[in-house]
Structure 1
Amino acid sequence: MASTKVTFEVPEELRELMGRYPEVNWSAVFRDAIVRQSRAIEAARGILVEEEDRRIRELSRQLKRGTAERFRRAQHARRG
């Protein structure tokens, strides 16, 4: 996978804290955090899309039932 350099701004205190642990691959830490957060966002969006689809299907069923009921009443009224 090709790499692209990205620069982050962090507070001075965080930079100093990171400097205390030079053995840590901070690029990997940031990369992993971005991947985890991105996956969490994608999962949440997937749940929202599924819920929206479920609600649309339910509204569609309700509309169909309501339309069918109104049609039956109209037919009954014409006969009666």
Structure 2
Amino acid sequence: MFKSMILAVAVLGLTACGSDDSEQSAECKKYLACIKATTPEIQATAEVTYGADGSCWQNDETARVCTAACTDGLTQLRGQHPDESACK
């Protein structure tokens, strides 16, 4: 029983830490394009997190959180820049 518990904890640890890399989401690609067009002064900072090699894509959980953040950010930028084609 003790061995089973250790194995379960090890598997949970790998899952929580993310043993696979996720790919950048379409939402974050669009968000970065919108940032580039509307607020280029923050583009470099956003790329570190949301870019193809960003910290968001280390595991599935962070990828989900980041994709939601990109969706929210894009919605806000669309509201501030409704005529910007890069944000549509």
User: Does the TM-score normalized on the shorter chain lie above 0.5?
Assistant: no
Q: Which TM-score band applies after superposition, normalised by the shorter structure? A: 0.3 to 0.5
TM-score, normalization: structure 1?
A: 0.38
Larger radius of gyration: 1
TM-score, normalization: structure 2?
A: 0.36
